[in-house]
């Protein structure tokens, strides 16, 4: 049962993979072994195929398969389920913490830089885990449980299946119906995460992050409900509320004599709305907030497609004095041409790079290159997702002095933002 059970490009259906899984689960069960079924999802293969070509997409798949295999031993196997989904079977007596550590290694191995000669590609990887016999005894159920766990995992992380998860994990349809009227019922609030300057030790800005406390579904993470809000057309309205609330908060802080720049994430739907630049200025005026206290964060993926319109909108926003940040820099497209077409004040180094910065091989080199390039182009660089003192020190050594992450503070209520 060792080795991969299908070719990297995969057969038309995933039946052979599932058949292999059934046989492996049955054998493990009969022999008194425990087992884990892991579904790993990598990046967005459709986007990779589109922007880097199908040949690169195929090589990504091959590389992911090879990397997973390199972490497996006798009695384990990997197969491709289709798209960017991979199945890993582990016959193991590992207890949960050790298993989680193993899955963590798999995620970090898969998400380290890939370089096929045209610049490094960073692929994020998320995993869902289900265990035999605890969660189920048959392959099909274990696979469905692992997929359910995957849906609840944050990008780049893992989640284990549990019965509570089954009950709590709202479907797309449930989220959609719970979102109706949620804005009017005041179920949303903003949390703020400090961005710290290591040279002065001060919080120089905060990022506003949307939170939804649904009475029926609990606290739903933004990764889960924002795509639904976008697909149901709620996003321009919700985005407007976010901008207004964040600007009001910044204006409060300004009035209190403790001004702080507030960075606000905007969604593609907002950016594509006609008159978005004027709306931003209207909100600033209504909130009596000078434009330089607002920063707008956009991601690379939002810049593709409508380059000219987007460029015009972003230029108008920037001309009004609002700062612009390029979020999650380096993930997805890594197309440096965007830096020429669009004028950004800030580049936010994605958490993927930050977590690799203490790894003396690829991560370190890439972060160094991003910092040097940012300095050359006059951008402010902010490293995101700083979780440990080692990462903070490595980034400082590389000349990055602005950081954001759990090491400094999780996103908190505005009254918890402490400043001198
Ligand atoms: P993002 O813009 O990249 O936001 C950073 C995310 O990383 C936040 O997750 C934050 O809580 C998390 N984070 C910060 N420091 C650390 C760290 O040290 N370690 C780890 N593991 N994570 C860290 P959150 O709040 O769940 O938001 C997820 C995504 O949802 C955001 O990613 C953004 O794309 C979107 N989002 C959040 N708020 C808004 C919003 O108001 N509008 C729009 N359009 N999107 C939003
Ligand atoms: Ca952001
Ligand atoms: Ca980000």
- DSSP secondary structure letters along 169-213: ---HHHHHHHHTTTTTTT-EEEEEEEEEETTTTEEEEEEEEEEEE
Rg (CA), the chain: 23
Residue 411 pLDDT class (50, 70, 90 cuts):
very high
Nearest CA residue ID for atom 46, ligand 1:
265
Taking 50 as the threshold, does the pLDDT of residue 4 lie above it? no
Residue 2 class from Cβ within 10 Å (0-12 exposed, 13-18 middle, 19+ buried)?
exposed
Burial class (CB in 10 A: 0-12, 13-18, 19+), 255: exposed
How much is the pLDDT for 51?
A: 79
Q: Which of 379, 375, 384, 300 is nearest to 334 (CA)?
A: 300
Residue 98 Cα to ligand 2 midpoint, Å, equals 32
Q: Which ligand 1 atom sits nearest the alpha carbon of residue 157?
A: 21
Is 5 a residue whose pLDDT tops 50?
no
Distance 192 CA to ligand 1 centre (A): 10
Q: Is residue 234 lining ligand 1, measured as CB closer than 6 Å?
A: no
Find all residues with CB under 8 Å of 397, minimum gap 6, and list them: none
226 lines ligand 1 (CB under 6 A): yes
For residue range 246-289, list pLDDT tens digits in order. Answer: 999 999 999 999 999 999 999 988 998 889 999 999 999 999 99
Are 2 and 75 in contact, with CB atoms under 8 Å apart? Answer: yes
Q: What residues pair up with 194 in beta bridges, in sequence order?
A: 206
The closest alpha carbon to 328, from 44, 118, 41, 82, belongs to 44
Please tell me whether residue 76 adopts helix, strand or coil conformation.
coil
Which of the two residues, 418 and 60, has the higher pLDDT score? 60
Would you state the pLDDT for residue 362? 61
Please compute the mean of the pLDDT values over residues 197-224 and round it to a whole number: 92
Q: Picking from 72-86, 192-206, 320-334, 369-383, which range would have the lowest pLDDT averaged per residue? A: 320-334
Tokens representing residue 66 in the block: 């090879």
Q: Whose CA is nearest to atom 33 of ligand 1?
A: 265
Task: Give the residue among 356, 355, 299 at the shortest CA–CA distance from 328.
Answer: 299
Main-chain dihedrals φ then ψ at residue 372, nearest 5 degrees: -65, -45
CA 61, 62, 67, 70 dihedral sign is: positive
Judge whether residue 2 has pLDDT over 60. no
pLDDT at 52: 81
User: What is the DSSP secondary structure assignment for residue 336, as one 8-state letter?
Assistant: T
Q: Which two tokens stand for residue 381?
A: 């660089």
Q: Is the CB of 189 under 6 A from ligand 1?
A: no
Question: For residue 376, what pLDDT is reported?
Answer: 83
Distance 170 CA to ligand 2 centre (A): 24
What is the distance in A from the centroid of ligand 2 to the CA of 297?
6
Give the ligand 1 atom nearest the CA of 156: 21
The verdict on the CB of residue 326 being under 6 Å from ligand 1 is: no
Q: Decide whether any atom of ligand 1 lies within 6 Å of the 265 Cβ.
A: yes
Is the CB of residue 270 less than 8 Å from the CB of residue 229? no
Q: Which residue has the higher pLDDT, 408 or 366?
A: 408
Taking the C-alpha atoms of residue 286 and residue 357, their distance in angstroms, rounded to an integer, is 42
pLDDT score, position 7: 41
> Six-digit token pair at 389?
């003192």
**Shortest CA distance to 211 belongs to which of 197, 198, 225, 231?**
225
35 and 27 Cβ atoms separated by less than 8 Å: no
pLDDT of residue 116 exceeding 90: no
Question: What DSSP string runs through 110-131?
Answer: HTS-EESSSSEE---EEEEEEE
Distance between CA atoms of 365 and 353, rounded to whole angstroms?
10
> How many alpha carbons fall within 13 Å on the CB side of residue 364?
11
Tell me what pLDDT residue 10 has: 44
Question: Within 10 A of 200 (CB to CB), how many other CB atoms are there?
Answer: 9
235-255 and 276-286 are packed helices; what angle lies between their axes, rounded to 10 degrees? 30
**15 CA distance to ligand 1 centroid (A)?**
36
What pTM was estimated for this model as a whole? 0.72
Pocket test for ligand 1, best of 219, 222, 271, 404 (most atoms within 8 A of CB): 222
- Could you read off the pLDDT of 98-108 as tens digits, one per residue? 999 999 999 99
What proportion of the chain, given as a percentage, has pLDDT over 70?
92
377-410 burial, b for 16+ CB within 10 Å, e for fewer? eebbbbbbbbeeeebbebbeebebbbbbbebbbe
Residue 209 C-alpha to ligand 2 middle, in angstroms? 8
Query: Angle between the 15-30 and 139-152 helix axes, to the nearest 10 degrees?
Result: 110
**Which numbered ligand comes closest to the C-alpha of 385?**
1
Strands 85-91 and 261-265, by their bridges, are unpaired
């Amino acid at each position: 049962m060792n080795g991969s059970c299908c070719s990297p490009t995969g057969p038309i259906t995933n039946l052979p993979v599932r058949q292999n899984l059934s046989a492996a689960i049955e054998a493990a069960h009969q022999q008194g072994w425990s087992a884990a079924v892991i579904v790993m999802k990598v990046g967005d293969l459709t986007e990779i195929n589109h922007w880097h070509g199908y040949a690169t997409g195929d090589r990504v798949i091959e590389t992911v398969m090879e990397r997973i295999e390199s972490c497996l031993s006798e009695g384990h196997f990997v197969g491709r389920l289709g798209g960017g989904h991979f199945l890993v079977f582990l016959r193991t007596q590992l207890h949960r913490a050790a298993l989680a550590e193993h899955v963590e290694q798999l995620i970090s191995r898969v998400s380290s830089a890939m370089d096929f000669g045209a610049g490094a590609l960073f692929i994020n990887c998320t995993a869902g885990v289900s265990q035999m016999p605890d969660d189920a005894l048959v392959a099909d159920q274990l696979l469905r449980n692992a997929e359910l766990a995957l849906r609840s995992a944050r990008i780049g992380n893992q989640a284990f299946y549990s019965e509570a998860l089954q009950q709590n994990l709202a479907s797309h349809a449930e989220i959609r119906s719970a979102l109706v009227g949620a804005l009017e019922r005041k179920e949303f609030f903003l949390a703020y995460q400090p961005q710290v300057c290591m040279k002065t030790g001060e919080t120089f800005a905060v990022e506003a992050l949307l939170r939804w406390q649904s009475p029926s579904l609990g606290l739903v993470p933004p990764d889960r409900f924002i795509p639904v809000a976008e697909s149901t057309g709620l996003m321009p309205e919700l985005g407007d509320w976010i901008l207004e609330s964040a600007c009001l908060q910044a204006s409060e802080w300004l009035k209190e004599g403790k001004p702080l720049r507030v960075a606000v994430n905007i969604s593609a739907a907002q950016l594509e709305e006609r008159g978005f630049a004027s709306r931003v200025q209207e909100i600033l005026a209504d909130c009596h907030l000078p434009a330089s206290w607002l920063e707008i964060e956009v991601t690379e993926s939002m810049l593709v497609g409508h380059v000219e319109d987007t460029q015009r909108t972003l230029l108008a926003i920037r001309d009004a004095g609002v700062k612009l940040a390029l979020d999650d820099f380096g993930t997805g497209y890594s197309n440096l041409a965007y830096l020429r077409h669009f004028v950004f004040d800030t580049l936010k180094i994605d958490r993927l790079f930050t977590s690799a910065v203490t790894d003396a091989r690829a991560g370190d080199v890439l972060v160094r290159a991003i910092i040097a390039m940012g300095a050359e182009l006059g951008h402010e660089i902010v490293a995101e997702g700083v979780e440990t003192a080692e990462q903070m020190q490595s980034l400082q050594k590389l000349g990055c002095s602005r950081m954001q992450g759990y090491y400094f503070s999780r996103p908190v209520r505005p009254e918890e933002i402490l400043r001198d």
